[in-house]
Amino acid sequence: MALKEVSSNKCFNGFQKVYEHDSSELKCKMKFGIYLPPKAETEKCPVLYWLSGEYFEAVFEKDITKGGCNIKGEEESWDFGTGAGFYVNATEEPWKTNYRMYSYVKDELPNLINANFPADSGRMSVSGHSMGGHGALILALKNPGKYKKGVLIYLLQAYDATHIVKSYEGSPLDILIDQGKDDQFLSGGQLLPDNFIAACTERKVPVVFRMHLGYDHSYYFITTFINDHIRHHAKYLNA
């Protein structure tokens, strides 16, 4: 699959690059960002996929931006369609042939990364923010053993982490979730983290849940705590 380099910037002695490609899974053009550390010049590196809550994103120690698929209604709401990061395979028209984000990030993107970059396919982890955090959870829960331990933080039950974890029997997980106490989506009753924590406790799936006073849903919140999550994943990626 051909990749087109869109940009390249020197960053922390490595390179932050953006690539574009035609997605066979989504039937449209996709862009993803990838950070290549200095050691990528001489050896394979572990991969940390970052899933954003707005616009589809991923990380290679990295960043994806979803291009429009020209689906009717994709731009009508900020929390659905192009502007949202629901990591599901939709089953209803018009989405079922064009809205397969789960399959894209589970299969097509990793295959693309492994084929074109010095990625160690045996050391892969997944994290994310907002809907991307939920996407990270369902990817780990639905694919035991695919990802190294550790993930961050409505839909159908098949893509509901609270529902999936109730029957989880895969390899051990080590889940870290940070939540802003002043998050508007928390106060609005849209996030419901207590339900997920209760399900994990019932199933004896380890999860560390940290609530932070004064923080909201924004990227300022992510910036404050992202290093903790990178270190959390590094424990297992570098083991």
Q: What is the pLDDT along the chain (239 residues), one digit of tens a residue?
A: 689 999 999 989 999 999 999 998 888 888 899 999 999 999 999 999 988 766 433 443 333 334 455 555 555 544 444 444 567 776 544 444 446 788 888 999 999 999 999 999 999 998 888 888 888 888 888 888 888 765 554 444 566 889 889 989 888 889 999 999 998 888 888 888 899 999 999 999 999 999 999 998 888 888 899 899 999 999 888 87
| Catalytic site includes residue 7 | no
For residue 146, which of 197, 100, 199, 110 has the smallest C-alpha distance?
Answer: 110
Range of the domain at 130: 4-237
CA dihedral 161, 68, 219, 138 (to 10 degrees): 10
pLDDT at 129: 84
For the chain, helix, strand, coil in percent to 5 are 30, 25, 40
pLDDT at 20: 94
The domain tally of the chain equals: 1
pLDDT at 133: 84
pLDDT at 2: 87
| Catalytic site includes residue 130 | yes
CATH number at residue 119: 3.40.50.1820
| Catalytic site includes residue 183 | yes
pLDDT at 156: 45
For residue 218, which of 172, 184, 171, 174 has the smallest C-alpha distance?
Answer: 184
SS in 3 state form for 76-140? CCCCCHHHCCCCCECCCCCCCCCCEHHHHHHHHHHHHHHHHCCEEEEEEEEEECCHHHHHHHHHH
Q: Which of 21, 217, 232, 233 is catalytic?
A: 217
Q: Which of 63, 125, 130, 229 is catalytic?
A: 130
pLDDT at 134: 84
Coil, strand, or helix at residue 186? Answer: helix
Q: Which of 63, 160, 178, 183 is catalytic?
A: 183
